[in-house]
Structure 1
């Protein structure tokens, strides 16, 4: 059997990869393809043999020194043929020289350790069919993200992410169906958050807040805007207030990953991260 050929995905192939992700139970967002492509058009790889697409992986460049690996899928009929290894090697070659992050599912974490990745913390997905919004008493005012300068949102995001990602962020804020809210502060934003419709329900991420009141105000605003169906929030386990907020809303753990890094560990203020943007791009 001939080895697979690895090449960069075309934009339209990202829609197919999202179908594969949905088949794996990952519940992608309805507008993810365009947003992901905006982050790094060359960052998505596909394996094929004789014109048949076999699997994919993302190796996205964020800024000059950081990268994120995700979207790692080999279609079931083609597993056990070395395709996953070929995709992994191509992805790591594209990310060479960078600090690399990933969110590893439980079954693959030992493999990632053998490849040089170190566990830093768990991320927990919380979800509920109808979460209870926090009470508004004492919470700060929330505005549409479009009502504040984009530079303020980008600065708020950069404070909790290892690199600049403005092209992705612009797409994420403006994608069809996405709802973005912000909490203004005296010296910049106290926080911002985005809700996106998914194939099942909605996901909130990122949710960045300087304090618990701002986090709860953003959660309440986005739950008010959420369409019918379950809502999910991916949060870092080392932020105890984020866990408490999710539980107060009646959400329960439904999934987990391990945030792992190779080449160094970014120093991130996890106490300000109440919701991770996505497991595919960080």
Structure 2
């Protein structure tokens, strides 16, 4: 589709996806090194790039999940092109692509008022906690009756069903890639054949990112986090923790992680019914 004064909006190419990752890193968001590969399979048409005279100057994701949900992320205009209307045109294109759906996003503090003007309402705040986890007792990594296993060894349908407790729509293609991409580790907590926890760690340019981090209780969340942190170069990890689950923030603080920055989870309509009591870390600020 065309815009104004040589400005065009079209779908992202594979090269653009790598560029978007670099832009997000420059914003200080520390995306996972390989996240873009999972993002691309979530919704191949869901990533938009604004070009001025053929040069990429802005981007946004507007990813469709199922029949009724969508998520906006990667909303970035290059510094030299801000305040000139390019970003807002891209934003409107994203909303148009998700028209008729409940839409969510994780908004940085500086943009939250603008999102409210577009009909988004805050549901909770995600606070990124970073640091090297330190257990008070080596036994914290062990939960009686629970086995921590490689998630890839479990039937995928079991993992996908568990993920649906924490996300408003099916996202099987994304989840399969998210768990299985090279360089990352996915651990599951299993009790008597039931999945009671799931965590994924992947490398980034800074602290290794953990997300999701789901667990039936703080003991399982601790065991998963400590197990994942063993795979982190240098040991430093970052987890985006919803403040709607206060025990999660307390758990991470007790392990020595400290707040770094925050975003607001916002929706255009009724907040979806999610298992927030089991959500110790969201999957991704870019795609939910």
TM-score range, shorter chain: over 0.9
Task: Indicate whether 1:16 and 2:19 are aligned.
Answer: yes
The residue aligned with 1:199 is: 205
**1:67 partnered with 2:70:** yes
Write the deviation string for residues 238-262 of structure 1: whole angstroms up to 9, x where unpaired.
1122111101110010010111000
Deviation for aligned residue 1:141 = 2.3
In the TM superposition, what whole-angstrom CA distance separates every residue of 1:175-195 from its partner, at most 9, and x where no partner exists?
A: 121110001123620011100
Contact 2:189-2:197 within 8 A present in 1 as well: yes
> How far is 1:115 from its partner?
0.7
1:265 maps onto 2:271 in alignment: yes
Q: Matches of 2:178 and 2:125 in 1, distance apart? A: 24
Q: Structure 2: how far apart are the matches of 1:121 and 1:25?
A: 21
Query: How far does residue 50 in structure 1 lie from its aligned partner after superposition?
Result: 1.4
The structural deviation recorded for 1:3 is 5.3
- Residue 221 (structure 1) aligns with: 227
Matched, 1:112 2:118: no
State yes or no: 1:279 paired with 2:285.
yes
1:43, CA displacement in angstroms? 0.4
In structure 2, stretches of 5+ residues that fail to align are: none
**SS at structure 2 position matched to 1:225:** coil
8 A Cα contact 2:133 2:235, kept in partner: no
Distance in 1, matches of 2:7 and 2:35, equals: 26
Matches within 5 A, 1:20-39: 20-39=23-42
TM-score by length of 1: 0.96
C-alpha separation in 1, matches of 2:207 and 2:235? 4
Which ranges in structure 1 are unaligned for 5 or more consecutive residues? none
Aligned-partner Cα distance in 2 for 1:75–1:19: 11
1:236 aligns with 2:239: no
Q: Is the 8 A contact 1:133 1:219 kept in 2?
A: no
Q: How does 1:126-141 map to 2 (within 5 A)?
A: 126-128=129-131, 130-133=132-135, 135-137=138-140, 139=143, 140-141=146-147
